[in-house]
Amino acid sequence: MFKLKKTASSTKARLGTLSTDHGKIDTPIFMPVGTLGTVKAVKQDELIDKVKAQIILGNTYHLYLRPGCDIIENAGGLHSFINWDRPILTDSGGYQIFSLSDNRELTEEGAKFKSHLDGSKHMFTPENIVDIQRTLGSDIMMVLDECPPYPSSYEYAKESMELTHRWEKRGREAFLNTKPKYSHKQAQFGIVQGGTYEDLRIESSKYVTDLDFEGIAIGGLSVGEPTELMYEMTDLNTDYLPEDKPRYLMGVGKPENLLHAIARGIDMFDCVLPTRNARNGQIFTRNGYINIRNAKWKNHQKPLDPDFPTDLCQKYKMSYIHHLFRNNELLGLELASLHNLTFYLWLMDKVKERITNDTFHTWYKEKAEVLGTKI
Amino acid sequence: MFKLKKTASSTKARLGTLSTDHGKIDTPIFMPVGTLGTVKAVKQDELIDKVKAQIILGNTYHLYLRPGCDIIENAGGLHSFINWDRPILTDSGGYQIFSLSDNRELTEEGAKFKSHLDGSKHMFTPENIVDIQRTLGSDIMMVLDECPPYPSSYEYAKESMELTHRWEKRGREAFLNTKPKYSHKQAQFGIVQGGTYEDLRIESSKYVTDLDFEGIAIGGLSVGEPTELMYEMTDLNTDYLPEDKPRYLMGVGKPENLLHAIARGIDMFDCVLPTRNARNGQIFTRNGYINIRNAKWKNHQKPLDPDFPTDLCQKYKMSYIHHLFRNNELLGLELASLHNLTFYLWLMDKVKERITNDTFHTWYKEKAEVLGTKI
């Protein structure tokens, strides 16, 4: 499903194409997160027409609890339920069980957990998480894993990784022994774990590669470790991953993180940050980020950046955007969410241009520094 | 500014055109409410392209407190501040002083009140409320009035009406003695009061007519009185209002209320109901209203009304809309707000068609009953 088109000079940045029955995806790509089947505050047609999203993400844990697999199956799958005919990736719920559930219990069989909504008891296994994602009908499904916290002891990270490996083997078999429920094909990605320990990361890269998933994700990062350590682990991982499979760094991140991770060989990203931070008033721009709630914008009577193609940048004076946020008006959340996602996809386009004309290595560090600066 | 085009048979329903420097308005019309300079959850371009809004309303009380007149003046007026180049009507703040402010004190001079935001002290007078609306630059401004509660004693209603009349005389003089701050003309509407007492309503209709405002509003209704009484008072008022001035029934209401009020000679409406109720899950349809949170929609796998031109009706299965509301997703609020406003403006179009072909009187009562039914 993946075609590597070009590898850049001096860095590990790559251009590629990921093919699904719902369309092609040009990598490097950022995937807006639609946890419950909606990218918060953004309409589906805006995701296509304005954000230029090529693929969005849904969360298996959340969708399994609400509305539940029966409702989505009755609707004809997740694409039909949410009226989205481009590619969808669903995660495996491993991260949510780690982050959302107070009471969880890991056994060899799988992960028992209590719903964060009503306390009801559930269990995810490597096998049923494949079945659930067959019902959702995502174009790309993720294998069940355990995401260890940071910091974890070497012993915990190793045991957790080994459990994840056994789950991944079972998950891959379950995938290969079952068929899609709808008329389109599905792919399955494995997940590399290993905490922040180099030998475990290398071992996991090799193990997951051997299971021959259609793509490979790097998990367990962006969970509180220093940014430099995240970059190091990513760099190490991609050294041991095959060239001909897409690489997906889960849950990352800020614009500058994306540039550094692309330089280290990553093709795919997802993160709630652009939409969540938009709702808190953080706006990403080509010259750094701002907080629109700051009083400096109260009487700022010009648009933010008339040359950047979003309504927030072109159509309104900053005094108005500030006013919307100060009064918790929904329009502020809508404009900011739409802007930040458009910015992320715009950044991926710039990256592709830079890799295409082979100037990525001379550009990305400086650009990352600019993007990470508060203005 | 108003041209009466046609009066229907058998009812007092009218067709007219209201001309402003920001464009013409075909009456009967519903004006979406943009309290703080934004119609909640709806983008300005959607108001034009989808809702087909011809005029929107802003609240002087709210805008005066936030962002404040200085910010709006620096932006070049309310149209420029919110990036809206169609007509705007601003109210006078009288109703908000009545409904929002715990501590208010009415004197001959005006209304002293404490801000609901920070407790700061302010005063609106018939004169400064003209100045404030000159700064906002609305196409239609309202005169300062007092809105008595329901029920009010005859004595209170009479004294309140008389104070309002004295304020209106001063307000009209202030309007005639001042000029617009921007390049477009402004009009001023008077407000009829008098509680629910027939003789006071008649007296007020005559008094306000004599002040020769560009239009006349009926105030003090839809404040808790029985619906039939609201219709009676409206009917009585319009008997005493001139044919050649637009009539605006403030703060009304439900779709069925609009039809009954149009039959009684009303041309203009505003109400937060379509957007506020949308946010609570009430959706208006051609066949009655529904509550999308109701469990009956949970597994309803069809669109609501594929022939009605809104995304809510055409693009999504009801199971998805229900899911969005059940999870308090912003997309649900956006789709429902957009739908309800589109429905209100669609209803005004149907009314115009019915008056044009002179079948309004045979249609509106039955239609009102259908629209007021929960399905």
Catalytic site residue from A45, A70, A85, A91: A91
What pLDDT does A95 receive?
87
Report the pLDDT averaged over residues A183-194. Answer: 98
Catalytic site residue from B26, B139, B199, B270: B270
What are B27-41's pLDDT values in tens digits? 999 999 999 999 999
Q: What does the alpha-carbon distance between residue A221 and residue A193 come to, in Å, rounded to a whole number?
A: 9
pLDDT band at residue A259 under the 50/70/90 scheme: very high
pLDDT band at residue A188 under the 50/70/90 scheme: very high
A91 is catalytic: yes
What are A266-309's pLDDT values in tens digits? 999 999 999 999 999 999 999 999 999 999 999 999 999 999 99
**For residue A328, what are the CA distances in angstroms to A324, B114, B120, B148, B274?**
6, 21, 20, 30, 19
Beta bridge partners of A25: A18
Q: What does the alpha-carbon distance between residue B317 and residue A80 come to, in Å, rounded to a whole number?
A: 9
What pLDDT does B239 receive?
98
Domain B2-271 belongs in CATH node 3.30.390.30: no
Chain A residue nearest residue B335, CA to CA: A43
Helices (H), chain A: 44-46, 60-65, 69-74, 78-82, 94-100, 126-136, 154-176, 198-210, 227-239, 255-263, 273-279, 311-314, 318-326, 330-356, 360-371
Instruction: Evaluate the CA torsion angle B30, B32, B35, B37 in order and state its sign.
Output: negative
B210 is catalytic: no
| Complete DSSP assignment for B107-122 | -SS-EEEE-TTT--EE
**DSSP-derived 3-state class of residue A106:** strand
Q: What does the alpha-carbon distance between residue A293 and residue A323 come to, in Å, rounded to a whole number?
A: 8
What are A214-223's pLDDT values in tens digits? 999 999 999 9
Q: What does the alpha-carbon distance between residue B102 and residue B332 come to, in Å, rounded to a whole number?
A: 33
Q: Which of chain A's residues have a Cβ under 8 Å away from the Cβ of B75?
A: 301, 317, 319-320
Q: Which two tokens stand for residue B207?
A: 């008094």
Q: Find the helix or strand (DSSP H, E) in which B351 lies.
A: helix B330-356
Catalytic site residue from B45, B49, B85, B91: B91
Report the pLDDT averaged over residues A337-358. Answer: 98
- Best probe of the A interface among B62, B315, B317, by most A CBs < 10 A, is B317
Is B49 known as a binding-site position? no
Q: What is the pLDDT along chain B (375 residues), one digit of tens a residue?
A: 999 999 999 999 999 999 999 999 999 999 999 999 999 999 999 999 999 999 999 999 999 999 999 999 999 999 999 999 999 999 998 888 888 767 789 999 999 999 989 999 999 999 999 999 999 999 999 999 999 999 999 999 999 999 999 999 999 999 999 999 999 999 999 999 999 999 999 999 999 999 999 999 999 999 999 999 999 999 999 999 999 999 999 999 999 999 999 999 999 999 999 999 999 999 999 999 999 999 999 999 999 999 999 999 999 999 999 999 999 999 999 999 999 999 999 999 999 999 999 999 999 999 999 999 999
Bond from prior residue into A253 cis (ω within 30 degrees of 0): yes
What pLDDT does A96 receive?
86
Report the pLDDT averaged over residues A119-148. Answer: 96
Chain B residue nearest residue A83, CA to CA: B316
When CB atoms are compared, the residue of B38, B299, B327 closest to A71 is B299
What are B261-309's pLDDT values in tens digits? 999 999 999 999 999 999 999 999 999 999 999 999 999 999 999 999 9
pLDDT band at residue A99 under the 50/70/90 scheme: confident
Q: What does the alpha-carbon distance between residue B241 and residue B265 come to, in Å, rounded to a whole number?
A: 10
The answer to whether B176 and B134 are in contact (CB under 8 A) is no
Q: What does the alpha-carbon distance between residue A37 and residue B324 come to, in Å, rounded to a whole number?
A: 9
Q: Please report, in angstroms and rounded to a whole number, the separation of the first and last CA atoms in chain B.
A: 41
In chain A, what are the domain boundaries? Answer: 2-271
What pLDDT does B102 receive?
72
Q: What does the alpha-carbon distance between residue B134 and residue B92 come to, in Å, rounded to a whole number?
A: 12
What pLDDT does A98 receive?
80
The answer to whether A277 and A299 are in contact (CB under 8 A) is no
User: Exposed/middle/buried for A307, CB within 10 Å: 0-12, 13-18, 19+?
Assistant: exposed
